[in-house]
Amino acid sequence: MTDLLIDGLPPTDDDLRYLALVNYGAYTSFRVEEGGARGLDLHLARLTANAVELFGHAPDESDLRGLVRTALGDRRDAWLRISLFSPEIWARLPSARVQPKVMTAVSPPPPPLATRLRVQLQTYVRDAAHIKHTATFPLIRARRLAQDAGFDDALFADADGLISEGSLWNLGFASGDTVVWPEAPMLQGVAQALISSGLSDTGLKQRSVRIHFADLAAFDAAFLCNSATPACPITAIGDRVFATSPEHIDRIAAAWASNPVQII
């Protein structure tokens, strides 16, 4: 069950009507552990930057934290989504510069996305790829098409074959003792940032390069990461098969876990 609040109060019919009709906004989501979250500062900073770009204004961070504490109540372990929207912005009236409303959604923590995946390469680049926005129709459709074709999920590349990100996750490759991140227009995920900050302590190096489908033979392994799934092996991209590397996955997960839980 998911508990919804808007600006710390039960949603009104008008708010719900707007949310049902207009898909314009930004959000972030993460696991709450013992009353905190790994990378909380990164989640809130990205949400603030997205709010300024989409609405012209951003909620105060202390107000956001207060609304999150209200939403959680006495729950110490949960899945939390913070969404920003404004009923003053519509398709015919898109230009308002307003302070967005804050919707919090609290639910039980979900299981990891998967334990291993085969992914289908699809030609697609997310609109405003640097924003974690609420326009998720193309992502759901991409996963649906991939699963209809016998895969588990979808990985995106542009028309020139430049690989970027997955439907709900970031992608990394392993080449010897180096993690290689794709360099392309994409959403810079918080899980990826947390892994990057902790990799040196695991003995792994990292770099970012432009990667095309034709380059995949150069890599030993591939993995995905997001806030619900710190590290999961990708066993195939299309017909390119990768060996599973438990050692790499364990070290990548350890890099993520090395980041402290930040109290809300």
Q: What is the DSSP letter of 133?
A: B
Q: Tell whether the model's pLDDT for residue 247 goes beyond 90.
A: no
Q: Tell whether the model's pLDDT for residue 98 goes beyond 90.
A: yes
Structural domains in the chain, sorted by start: 3-107 (3.30.470.10), 117-263 (3.20.10.10)
Across the range 170-185, mean pLDDT stands at: 97
* Closest by CA position to 122, among listed 97, 140, 103: 140
Contact (Cβ atoms closer than 8 angstroms) between residue 239 and residue 214: no
3-state secondary structure 162-214: EEEEECCCEEEEEECCEEEEECCCCCCCHHHHHHHHHHHHHCCEEEEECCEHH
Across the range 54-60, mean pLDDT stands at: 97
pTM of the model: 0.95
3-state secondary structure of 240: strand
* Closest by CA position to 84, among listed 151, 142, 131: 131
CA pair distance 121, 239, nearest whole angstrom: 10
CA pair distance 16, 83, nearest whole angstrom: 13
Determine the pLDDT at residue 2: 84
